[in-house]
Amino acid sequence: MDSTTVAALSGNIATIGYGLAAIGPAIGVGIVVGKTIESVARQPELQGRLQVLMYIGIAFTEALALIGIATYYLFTTGQ
Q: What per-residue confidence (pLDDT) applies to 76?
A: 72
Residue in 49, 57, 62 with CA at minimum distance from that of residue 33 = 57
Q: What per-residue confidence (pLDDT) applies to 20?
A: 77
**pTM of the full structure:** 0.68
Q: What per-residue confidence (pLDDT) applies to 53?
A: 94
Taking every pair of Cα atoms in the chain, the longest distance, rounded to a whole number of angstroms, is 67
Positions in the chain short of pLDDT 50: 2, 6-7, 9
Residues 6+ apart with CB under 8 A from 65: 21, 22, 25
Residue in 20, 38, 31 with CA at minimum distance from that of residue 57 = 31
